[in-house]
Amino acid sequence: MLNLQRVTMFIAVVDAGSFTLAAAALGQTKAVVSFNVRQLENELGVTLLLRSTRRLRLTDAGCCSISAG
């Protein structure tokens, strides 16, 4: 079963466009948010976000996850 907190953090990252802004909105550290999104990806067995130092991009699986929610 999916961890609702991890899903919430993933959605916050997508909405905010960054781990830093999502963490601030959630009252968490960037490390906690990043860890939970990575764990969600591991649970699902897919990469949801393409990470770079400049921006985040949703993968096809990430787009489907957001659309399904």
Per-residue pLDDT of 5-40, as tens digits, reads 999 999 999 999 999 999 999 999 999 999 999 999
Domain that holds residue 15: 4-68
Q: What is the pLDDT of residue 67?
A: 61
Average pLDDT over residues 50-67: 78
Domain count, the chain: 1
pLDDT of residue 17: 93
CATH number at residue 46: 1.10.10.10
Report the pLDDT value the prediction gives residue 56, as an integer from 0 to 100: 86
Angle between helices 19-26 and 30-44 in degrees, nearest 10: 110
Q: What distance in Å separates the CA atoms of residue 59 and residue 66, rounded to the nearest whole number?
A: 11
Pairing relation of β-strands 56-58 and 49-51?
A: antiparallel
Question: What's residue 48's pLDDT?
Answer: 94
pLDDT at 13: 96
Q: What DSSP designation does 28 have?
A: S
Of 65, 18, 21, the C-alpha closest to 41 is 65
How far is 60 from 1, CA to CA, in rounded Å? 22
